[in-house]
């Protein structure tokens, strides 16, 4: 694309721009290269305009921004835009030639359940014969099914990476794509420019208040997905859904708790082999089986089925697809075992409601004691959930272990004291505090017996562990497997 064509795509007034080719767009000066357009974003700590000379030397051909600061001139053509982040997303979509318009796109948002719902939806669409890609917090997949990860420096994919991945999906022959849409992605316009066919709403609870300020602010960002989609799939059991009804041109509702809805679950049974229930839906009534633990996954399955049906999946596709879904890495992931050792499960639950759901579910299928390991993130992230996490862990588990979970620049001791306080307010002293997460995992598995269940909560599939002065590679499943192997090994004389 030429610079003049990009300016036209952004609806900017005609100006005397040089006829230069544009290779890409970025807001990070360190990523800029020859032929790029640099978007100068004013952030809380840095103003991107300070890096114009750096990107010029790197070969950038133009700058987009909301206006040059007083006293600063640009050696590159400067295009003034009303909203720099919006311009970053719109430019990225234009440079990739609007790839989402060549796909059928499902977006999934909510506090809890969005990853499992996104993976289920992707799986059911594939069962229906659609070549489907996925962009998830766990990674991204092309239609070939291989899970990939963005480079380490992309802590969260920005708009250019989202659009580039969508173009990669089109090139790989995809018919559809399923994207997780986090509140940050919506607020920071990372998924602006995506043409949404279906928006799925799972559930809302307190989270990310350090960024959004209030629950209402958090909700306002997430509702953007519903507002931008042609069809909404809404959880009738979530109180926030009342404020979403009517925002999309079309909508479908679902309920796993007996609320009147288009898709409903009845006679739910949970056993060693997974979940079974009866579905009533616009496609008719049928029996469903999902080889996952966790009664709450019935709601995720209903949401995924409703979304897949909207894109053409039949009742037979849904029945067959659910029956062989293998789950999501780090989401109620059951580690392989022979029954002679404790049952160990890795899950991403890191909010009080999600931890409560996980523990309540495991309690019903655990003949022995229920153990849980949990930490709470540091930094400016919502400190108000630390004590509630401790309270939930102590109240619902037989024994809790409090440990680290990305403490960052917050004192780990302070975080752990807050979790202990929450536990003590239940009147229980059934907890142990072990600061080092690897040591805590080894300890909790060593204490458990056959018939017990150990839930390792909070990290799930994340591949780093952040401390005050270092970021370590992390694999929760590998650490747990090593601890299980040590548990099963004969004692050394």
Task: Round to whole Å and give the CA distance between 42 and 87.
Answer: 13
Annotated binding-site ranges? 110-116, 155-156, 182, 190
The two structure tokens encoding residue 102: 């060549």
Task: Round to whole Å and give the CA distance between 385 and 377.
Answer: 10
The two structure tokens encoding residue 306: 């409703």
SS3 163: helix
**DSSP for 441-492, written as a single string:** HHHHHHH--TT-EEEEES-TT--EEE-SS-EEE--HHHHHHHHHHHHHSPPP
**DSSP for 173-222, written as a single string:** T-SEEEEE--HHHHHTTTTTT---SEEEE----S--HHHHSSHHHHHHHH
Pairing of strands 370-374, 343-347: unpaired
Residue 179's φ and ψ, nearest 5 degrees, are: -125, 135
Q: 420 near 431, Cβ under 8 Å?
A: yes
Dihedral-angle region of residue 406 (phi above 0 means left; psi in -120 to 50 means alpha; beta otherwise): left
Alpha-carbon distances, residue 324 vs 124, 127, 146, 208, 303 (angstroms):
10, 10, 17, 34, 17
Q: 72 near 65, Cβ under 8 Å?
A: no
SS3 303: helix
Per-residue exposure over 44-76, b if at least 16 CB sit within 10 Å of its own CB, e if not: eeeebbebbeebbebebbbbbbbeeeeeeebeb
Provide the β-strand partners of residue 176: 104, 132
Q: What is the helix, strand, coil percentage profile of the chain, to 5?
A: 35, 20, 40
The residue ranges of DSSP E strands in 282-351, in sequence order, are 284-290, 333-334, 343-347
Give start and end residues of each alpha helix (H) in 235-314: 297-310
Task: Round to whole Å and give the CA distance between 37 and 35.
Answer: 7
Per-residue exposure over 158-183, b if at least 16 CB sit within 10 Å of its own CB, e if not: bbbbbbbbbbbbbeeebbbbbbbbbb
SS3 140: strand
The two structure tokens encoding residue 238: 């979530």
Task: Round to whole Å and give the CA distance between 363 and 366.
Answer: 5
Annotated binding-site ranges for ATP? 110-116
């Amino acid at each position: 694309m030429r610079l003049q064509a990009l300016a036209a795509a952004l609806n900017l007034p005609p100006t005397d721009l040089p006829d230069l080719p544009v290779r890409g767009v970025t807001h990070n000066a360190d990523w800029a290269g020859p032929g790029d357009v640099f978007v100068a974003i004013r952030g809380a700590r840095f103003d991107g305009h300070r890096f114009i000379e750096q990107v010029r030397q790197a070969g950038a051909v133009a700058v987009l921004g909301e206006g040059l600061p007083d006293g600063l001139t640009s050696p590159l053509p400067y295009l003034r835009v009303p909203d720099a982040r919006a311009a970053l997303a719109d430019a990225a979509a234009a440079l990739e030639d609007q790839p989402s318009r060549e796909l059928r796109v499902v977006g999934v948002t909510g506090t809890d359940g969005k990853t499992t719902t996104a993976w289920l939806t992707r799986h059911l669409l594939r069962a229906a014969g659609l070549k489907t890609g996925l962009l998830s917090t766990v990674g991204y997949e092309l239609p070939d099914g291989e899970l990939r990860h963005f480079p380490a420096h992309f802590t969260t994919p920005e708009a250019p990476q989202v659009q580039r991945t969508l173009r990669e999906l089109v090139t790989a022959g995809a018919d559809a794509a399923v994207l997780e849409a986090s509140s940050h992605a919506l607020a920071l316009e990372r998924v602006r420019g995506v043409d949404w066919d279906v928006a799925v709403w799972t559930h809302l609870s307190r989270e990310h208040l350090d960024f959004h300020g209030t629950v209402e602010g958090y909700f306002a960002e997430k509702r953007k997905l519903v507002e931008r989609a042609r069809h909404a799939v809404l959880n009738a059991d979530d109180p926030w859904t009342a404020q979403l009804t009517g925002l999309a041109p079309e909508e479908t509702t679902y309920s796993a708790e007996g609320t009147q809805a288009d898709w409903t679950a009845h006679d739910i049974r949970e056993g060693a082999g997974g979940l079974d229930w009866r579905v009533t839906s616009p496609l008719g009534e049928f029996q469903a089986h999902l080889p996952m633990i966790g009664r709450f996954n019935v709601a995720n399955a209903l949401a995924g089925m409703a979304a897949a049906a909207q894109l053409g999946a039949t009742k037979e596709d849904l029945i067959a697809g659910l029956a062989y879904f293998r789950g999501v890495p780090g989401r109620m992931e059951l580690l392989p075992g022979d029954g002679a050792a404790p049952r160990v499960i890795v899950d991403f639950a890191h909010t009080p409601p999600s931890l409560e759901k996980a523990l309540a579910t495991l309690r019903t299928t655990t003949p022995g004691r229920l153990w849980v390991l949990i930490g709470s993130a540091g930094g400016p992230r919502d400190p108000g959930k630390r004590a509630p996490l401790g309270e939930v862990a102590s109240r619902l588990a037989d024994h809790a272990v409090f440990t680290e979970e990305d403490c960052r620049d917050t004192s780990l001791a302070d975080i752990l004291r807050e979790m202990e306080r929450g536990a003590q307010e239940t009147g229980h002293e059934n907890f142990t505090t072990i600061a080092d997460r690897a040591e805590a995992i080894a300890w909790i598995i060593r204490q458990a017996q056959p018939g017990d269940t150990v839930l390792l909560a909070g990290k799930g599939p994340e591949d780093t562990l952040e401390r005050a002065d270092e970021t370590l590679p992390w694999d929760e499943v590998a650490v747990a497997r090593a601890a299980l192997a040590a548990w099963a090994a004969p004692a050394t004389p």
